[in-house]
Structures are given as structure tokens and as C-alpha cells.
Chain A
Amino acid sequence: MTEAEVEDKRITLAEAAKKVSDEDTLFWGGFGYQRPPIAFSHELVRQKKRNLTVYTCGSEVDLEIMAGAGVVYRYEIAFSAIEALGLSNNIRRRVSEGALQVEDYTNLAMAMRFLGGALNVPFMPLRSMMGTDMVRLSRYRGDDKLKVIDCPFTGEKLTVVPSLKPDFSIVHVQRVDKTGNAQIDGIVGEDIEGSRCGKKLIVLAEEIIDEEEVRTRPDQTKIPAMYVDHVVVLPFIAHPMMCHGYYDYDLEHLMMFHKLTQTEEGWQEYLNGYILGVEDHYGYLDLVGWPRLQQLKAKKPWGY
């Protein structure tokens, strides 16, 4: 019997970002401080992408970066802030300037929109948002933001939200093999649905493992290879946020980022220093400093 040749889906971060065209729509993975694909947002900025639309529940620093650098012009999201640190300053400024439009949903509504896309049905029902301005007011989506209907079976009021099938799903995981079997530790956020709703899926991972290792813990494979188009392997993809079991957030960097974004000048300084001022992700990590990155490495058994 001959061994079947397996496809190696690995490409570089720059190659992955090149696949995204101006005007494309993206599902954006991670949740809160956990597993945001920050390195991918940096590369989209370096490649000067424009007019992207990003769908997610609520990433934080990455949404700030893409809004600040003018990469996105539309967000369909539930949340923007740096949670305990405060408001998202770049998004706030870009919205006031009219450069960015935010179509507001709730976390559950966005998760249901990804689930609907993954299930290949055009809409999904839920019980949130009714009676509020989230139903009454919309931006570019107009009447297609959502609808409140009478359930055809019970007559109850329900909100229905349009499913999403973006051009790309961008998801950051802990481990992957070269064929794309992707393992997530800790919480999954909305990444199960999100990874299955896009037309193409790019998985970014901290670590490459052998397929044999995947097969010793198949329950950890949250995204089987059959969904995955491209794989990018790099360390510290989520810095200054966290990656469960791999590294903690860099609170000092995060506070510096949040403070700088309070003014346009401060944000430009960060953008030119940490993103445009470096060649690639390794350049960014060199600038942050390896001794500091080592300190952030997760300790057992805590996972941070």
C-alpha cells in the first residue's frame, strides 16, 4: 500500500494577506482578549488594503488597528472597547469623521449570523433586540439589517438576522498540522461557526504539529482540515492580547496602546512605529523584545 501524499497548506503571513482583495468581507475570529489574529491585522495594514468589511462579535485591539489605519470602512459587530481599559478611541474617531460605519448587532445575533452561514440557510431567528433601537435604526444595511416577524408556527414575535458568508474567515488557533487540522484550547468563542461560514478559511496558528499528534487528541480538533484552505504558522500572533495555554496579555503594551490612541498623533506614532515601521511579524516581535515575550509565556497549570 502506498502512503497518500498529504497537501501542505502552509503559506506565509504576507502571502495569506495578499489573497484578500480591497472590498472583501471577512469573518474575524477570537473573542475579547482571547486569540485575536492581531498579526493578520498588521499585515493587512502593511499591504494597504482598503474598504474591507469585517464581521465579528467583539475583537478589540485588532478592530482598533484596522479602523485607525483605514483598512476597513464597515464593521458589523456587537462590541468595541478594550474592556477593562476603556473605550475604543480609533473607532470612536473614525465613526465621528464618517470614515467608518458600524452596523450594530448583539453577540448572540452575530454568532447566529455565522451559524446561519455555516448551515447554508439565509437567516436565523433569535429572541434579542426586539423593542429597542437595535431594531428601529440601521445604517448601510437599511431594511436588511434584521426583521421582526411572527413565528409561522406559534405566532410569537422573533427577530430574524441575515446569515453571513464572507469572502474569508480568519481564525487564530493554538495548533495546526500542515493539512489544516486546527486545535483550539480554552474557550472557542464564535470560532466554530465563524470558521465554517466563509468561502475561504485562513487558519493562523502558534505551533505546527504532526498529523499523528492530532490523531492522539482528536477531540481538540475544533476545525477539521477539510474546511481549511491556508495555514500560517507564527509565534505570538495575538500579542498584546492572549493565547490560552501559550501566553498572557502584555498589559503594559496594551495600556501604552490605549493611551496613544487617545489622540490621532499618538495613534500615528504607534502605527508608524509598531506596524508600518517593521518589515514583518518578526520585526514587530523584535521591537517588542524577546525577553519581554518570554515573560508572557503561560505557566502550568494556569494557562496564562
Chain B
Amino acid sequence: MVEYSKTEFLIACASSHVRDGENVFGGTGMPLLAALLAKQTHAPRSNLISEAGFIDARPREVPLSVADTRYYYGCSASLGLIETLGFLLQGGRIDVGFLGAAQIDEYGNLNTSYIGPYDKPKVKLPGSGGGNDIASSAKRLIIMMSHDKRKFVKDLDYMTSPGHLEGPGSREKWSMVGNGPEVVITDMCQMDFEPETLKIRLKSVHPGYTVQQIVDNVMFDLLVPDEIPATAEPSQEQLDIMHKLDPKGIYLGKGA
């Protein structure tokens, strides 16, 4: 049996959602490694784009910032924000975006702005950055979250980025370019969205976790189908490639 850390598992899982030939906004951290891993395995013709302006990037060291020069060498074009978020993303040319958040609700709407009331916030979080632009206009959205009751909430403290908003028809009402979230990956499970209601639904359970644990750590009524498969585990090949991509363990950690 292949041994792996939680981070490695999540990167492999996220990577499986990138399809060959797709234009991908990779960002930094786990999504970046997931996109790079996909390119080296099942999606060799995927195109990794940084919202800061790097197109078809192949960084030899992992960037710490979307604007990091580590993204530059070997990319095919080095441009700017109006190009990436405007011409590419709003132009409908980005297939997949990755986002994380401090809070998510049952329609996949995200908060990356404030904890506590808007008028007197307890914590000011990073804000949208390009997050709302990506959530509005990328064809598909992959959300990565840590699985915690305080994060899977009935009501967001602040809605920064649109998921499926109030459910069916609401993205259409705002003429949104993209189709919204497709999958949510947590450290316990994968979730997708039930097509009729567009509410979050359990999709697969990671090895070592139970459905009860997952349901207990969500503040809304999670849709649970009768049959729930186990999430696929990473292969040794995937782990080896990950460590070649991040030999210093900047995102993978030092342990492995």
C-alpha cells in the first residue's frame, strides 16, 4: 500500500479534476501543485495560467505568489491583469479555477473577506483578489476547504464569491459567464452539487473517515446519497512527481 500525507492525498485528488487541454488558473499552494501534477500525468496539454499574467507556465521551482518570477522562465507569454482576468477569464476562455475560503454555504458560495459583522469585523481576511472574478467567470470551479463545522455554515458572514447563489436560475439572472462550483474537496471527503437543487451533496469519502464524521462537521443539511464510494488514493507515481515538483517541501512539508 502506498503511504501518503494528507496534503499529498488532497493534491492528487484535486489534480484528478483537471482535464487534458484545459486552461487552468493555478494560483499558489495545493492548487498549483495539483495543476502541475495533472500536466505531468493525465493532462499533458493543460495550460497553467497565473492570474498575474503568466501563460502556459512550467515553473522549475514552486512560486510563493501568483506574481512570483518563478512563474516566468519557460512560460509562453508574460502579460498582465487585464489580459488574464479580462480577455481570458471574462472572455470565457478559462475552463477551471481553484478557490479556497474561510466559509462556504450549501450552495457553494464563499467568504474570503470578513469574520464577524461587516460593520465591526472580528477578522479582516484577504478579500476577493481575483477570487470573485474567477468564481463568476471560470467555466468550472474546484473548491478546496478544510473540513470544519465553523467553515461549512448555514449563513456566510460575508459572501465574497458566487457559488450557485440561491440555487437554480440565479447565476443565469446575473448573466454569469461561468457555470459555478463543480466539486468541493475537503480533508474528509469530496462533495458535488445535486443537479436539481444545486445544493452540496456528498460524493466520496476519503479513506479513514465516516459519513457520520462528515455530516457532524457541517452546519447545514448535507445531501447524502445511498451509495457513496471511497475517494481514490494517490499512486506512487503521483507522489514521486509531486516531490520532484516541490523538492524543498515548500507546500508538501518536510516530512515525506
Chain A complexes with chain B: yes
List A residues at the B interface (Cβ < 8 Å): 31-34, 57-58, 77-81, 83-85, 87-88, 91-92, 95-96, 102, 104-109, 111-112, 115, 126-134, 137, 156-158, 186-193, 242, 244-245, 248-249, 251, 298, 301-304
Partner of A57, one of B81, B126, B159, B171: B81
* B146 contacts A by Cβ under 8 Å: no
Please indicate the chain A residues that have their CB under 8 angstroms from the CB of B70 in the complex: 302, 304
The complex places the Cα of A136 from the Cα of B81 at a distance, in Å, of 25
List B residues at the A interface (Cβ < 8 Å): 28-29, 51-54, 60, 64-70, 72-73, 78-82, 85-86, 89-90, 109, 113, 118, 120-133, 136-137, 156, 158-162, 165, 170-171, 173-177, 250
30 CB-based A-B contacts, threshold 8 Å: A32-B68, A33-B64, A33-B65, A34-B68, A78-B127, A78-B130, A79-B129, A80-B124, A83-B64, A87-B124, A111-B86, A127-B175, A128-B132, A129-B132, A129-B136, A130-B162, A131-B173, A133-B113, A133-B158, A134-B132, A157-B174, A187-B67, A189-B52, A189-B67, A189-B80, A192-B80, A244-B69, A249-B64, A304-B69, A304-B72
Closest residue of chain A to B83 (Cβ to Cβ) is: A188
Please indicate the chain A residues that have their CB under 8 angstroms from the CB of B80 in the complex: 187-192
Please indicate the chain A residues that have their CB under 8 angstroms from the CB of B156 in the complex: 133
Please state if B72 and A80 are interface contacts (CB–CB under 8 Å).
no
Please indicate the chain A residues that have their CB under 8 angstroms from the CB of B170 in the complex: 131
Please indicate the chain A residues that have their CB under 8 angstroms from the CB of B161 in the complex: 132
Please state if A84 and B132 are interface contacts (CB–CB under 8 Å).
no
Please state if A156 and B175 are interface contacts (CB–CB under 8 Å).
yes
What distance in Å separates the Cβ of A55 from its nearest Cβ neighbour in chain B? 14
Please indicate the chain A residues that have their CB under 8 angstroms from the CB of B28 in the complex: 83-84
Please state if A186 and B175 are interface contacts (CB–CB under 8 Å).
no
Closest residue of chain A to B113 (Cβ to Cβ) is: A104
Please state if B67 and A302 are interface contacts (CB–CB under 8 Å).
no
Please state if B131 and A106 are interface contacts (CB–CB under 8 Å).
yes
Please state if B72 and A186 are interface contacts (CB–CB under 8 Å).
yes
Please state if B173 and A96 are interface contacts (CB–CB under 8 Å).
no
Please state if A88 and B160 are interface contacts (CB–CB under 8 Å).
no
Most central of A80, A107, A303 by chain B CB within 10 Å: A107
* 7 extra A-B contacts, CB within 8 A, seeds A78-B128, A132-B161, A192-B82: A34-B65, A128-B90, A130-B162, A131-B170, A133-B159, A189-B67, A249-B68
